[in-house]
Amino acid sequence: MAISGELSGRLWGVSHGRRQQPDLTLHSPETNKRIVLDTKFTASSLTAGPWNGTERYDSSDLYQMYAYLRTQELPSITQPAVGILLYPTVGTHISDVHHIQGHELRISTIDLAADWQDIEHQLLDLMTRAQGQIPNRL
């Protein structure tokens, strides 16, 4: 897999005078599959819902990832990109998969209270699932 921060020199977009781009873009030349990963580390990223107290996502994170996925739509790319929003947590595990206009959007957490071997395993498991090599655990 190739790793980059932009696609063929295209701008991801400009917001407040700054270029917007995801944290990581992975591309497999063999399969032409792309994975766009963006991490979120703010106090408001995961908040308790108003009705039942369950964790919910900041909608601006979802809109931003959707915009990143749309930039990957080129005639030469035959497979839709997979997006991953990655949130650090302590003791909480979330693994959701949504499909938006042909794109797979994964929302996952990494438990930072775990030892480094477990964190590595969580990340490798997430990437393997995003590549479609093993089924989802929901």
Total structural domains within the chain? 1
Question: Could you give the CA distance from residue 74 to residue 81 in angstroms, rounded to a whole number?
Answer: 11
Using DSSP's 3-state secondary structure scheme, residue 101 falls into coil
Inside any domain, residue 138: no
Residue 101 has pLDDT above 90, yes or no: no
Residue 14 has pLDDT above 50, yes or no: no
Using DSSP's 3-state secondary structure scheme, residue 130 falls into helix
Residue 75 has pLDDT above 60, yes or no: yes
pTM assigned to the model? 0.75
Question: Could you give the CA distance from residue 135 to residue 138 in angstroms, rounded to a whole number?
Answer: 9
The pair phi, psi for residue 69, each rounded to 5°, is: -65, -40
Domain span at residue 56 reads: 2-130
